[in-house]
Structure 1
């Protein structure tokens, strides 16, 4: 291909994140964020990444996603990287929910758009915004191939024994209720990068990936294929997160409705936005929680202990699912930066071959690295995630294949 650039778009309800990459060497040419779309105080921060360019900011009303993408196009054009460039090969879109329909990156056409729209009931917060970004980008460049890369796709290899809930099959099928999993582009990238760190082919390696950010998920990856993951029908299931509860007895919901008099929307807000770490101690920033623990704050310590207890349970569960574990990889904001979380998560698991070296664990860096002692039976690694590069790589590979 003569055109080698891919623009990656991640459209939220009131934001657009973007990166422009050159797939000849996976280098980044520009990146930015438009936020508070639809408000008078909309903000666009654009950073050119070639020739030492300085970041630029615009604070002005940006009415909708069409205006946002036009503003992004203007900023890119100022750097000679406009959307009309013949070097732009495709636009890759992050789409949160692909259901069972989409198991790989997919060229977008009207049928694909209709199916993404059909999945809105199982992703009401994300798919509508993703659709808006896609439609806007297609209107701006109708001639350009555009690709949907789905958060759920990596997890579609889960066996039915892991993907199904133990409820009436007919009811589950009628309402598309099953475990889909999320953060799939991160889990795919990190599991493969972990294998590379070990000097092995991904097909030879079993990895437990711990994506720990404000949203958090774990996956069991066997020979490059996901066989289990902690998030389910929605991103609410699984680990304790910044504002989400994670695993919980579903009867708590009935209790809150019957005894607490709470509505469905109130419970939804409670479990998704007022639970997890922020519900337990009032903070969802792990740095602040650790500072409070150092000052003797018992509520912060309890929140941390609950977070670690759930994390450790999933490590043990996925060890059992895989049977043999070659590596445990920590990634995302907390996983990459919070050494105390990594240390606590594997403490007491020496019998499973898991341990961290204190000195190695304390080192900060942007490159994948091992933090387990030399000769450890199971490698423990810190592997920075790169979801934008993964989306760009999947997009470009699909475009190359279809030429």
Structure 2
């Protein structure tokens, strides 16, 4: 019964899950917040109980010690722990598969921090902290960008000066790859069809959102770009905008690059359109007749339909369309709006099936729909555990 500890380390937080690789069930989970800040807090869930306490956490090494103490005090035992799997947001063009971590890998992850300054530094700190907490145990990095390394050059290349692009590593990388991989494989297994034969679109709709075109199990196009800002409308992120909008705001509005970054990443998306970053609040406001929220809802759905149509063309056909993540799994209304009018493209939603609430994978299209539409709950932690196990099994 080998166990994998999955760690997701941010700049001021450390999340973890302990997964039994035989049953693929979570045995424990936890979150340590406000690392390096006042009023730190730790939560550990095991055996159906949740244990919480306030704790001062000076750095990630201290957070790892808090995590290990929680296992020691509340269980379960870590005697069967076989490896630690780390979520790393950006692997650039260097990492295209789960990778056993050594000194050089950490240097490369740190070097890629310029492409993910909010994520990669925290990942390195988490890796080094767990190396000290579990000396000698294999540590594996699983990259959000890795799944998209199968995109062809015409999909990931931006039409700017080639020398400039190469010098500054400007290209489409894509994100949410761990989720897109997991969902596409779950969809094939659920339908009992070979993954290699399926043309799929996966819509990962959460506070962050992305679409991915998957042909035979391989990513061939995705909506996020060099950063997670591009593509679909998100909670606080704009998604696609004309690049000249930024030049216009710099010239006429005198916004500097920090103000533009704040605008596009933290004050746009659903928040900028409706005043609500949470789609549930936006939908409630729209139902009550709020015109800004109604428009936000339409813009959100329009952008999704735009990408569905584009990816159907890229794939040359479509077998499966899957909704996943917080919004995709739970909002029947936004699912319906997102595919409204696509019947001629072979996408026919069944309203009764779509209205069902469940934590299970399920079909929400009609029996006659040429394209099977699914809701597939994502499980990025399990996918990281699976990929980590695949690496250590070869050692």
> What band does the TM-score fall into relative to the shorter chain?
over 0.9
The alignment covers a number of residue pairs equal to 395
Q: Does residue 341 of structure 1 match 2:334?
A: yes
CA distance in 1 between counterparts of 2:116 and 2:37 reads: 24
- Give the unaligned 5+ runs of structure 2: none
1:368 shift after superposition = 0.4
Partner in structure 1 of residue 70 of structure 2:
75
CA distance in 2 between counterparts of 1:86 and 1:299 reads: 55
CA distance in 1 between counterparts of 2:75 and 2:166 reads: 50
Partner in structure 2 of residue 14 of structure 1:
12
Q: Secondary structure at the match of 2:85?
A: strand
Contact 2:19 2:27 in 1 (8 A): yes
CA distance in 1 between counterparts of 2:143 and 2:392 reads: 16
| 1:272-294: CA deviation from partner (whole Å, max 9, x where unpaired) | 00000000111011111111111
CA distance in 1 between counterparts of 2:49 and 2:117 reads: 37
Trace 1:245-284 onto structure 2 (pairs within 5 A). 245-284=238-277
Q: Secondary structure at the match of 1:100?
A: coil
CA distance in 2 between counterparts of 1:343 and 1:72 reads: 42
CA distance in 1 between counterparts of 2:34 and 2:368 reads: 50
Partner in structure 2 of residue 169 of structure 1:
162
Trace 1:346-361 onto structure 2 (pairs within 5 A). 346-361=339-354
Partner in structure 2 of residue 4 of structure 1:
2
Trace 1:345-384 onto structure 2 (pairs within 5 A). 345-384=338-377
Q: Secondary structure at the match of 1:390?
A: helix
Partner in structure 2 of residue 194 of structure 1:
187
TM-score under structure 2 length normalisation: 0.98
| 1:270-317: CA deviation from partner (whole Å, max 9, x where unpaired) | 100000000011101111111111111111000111111111100000
1:100 shift after superposition = 0.8
- Give the unaligned 5+ runs of structure 1: none
Q: Secondary structure at the match of 1:102?
A: coil
Partner in structure 2 of residue 230 of structure 1:
223
TM-score under structure 1 length normalisation: 0.97
Q: Secondary structure at the match of 1:251?
A: helix
Q: Does residue 319 of structure 1 match 2:277?
A: no
Q: Secondary structure at the match of 1:75?
A: helix
Q: Secondary structure at the match of 1:46?
A: strand
**RMSD (Å) for aligned C-alpha atoms:** 1.0
| 1:329-380: CA deviation from partner (whole Å, max 9, x where unpaired) | 0000000001011101111000011021111001011110000011310011
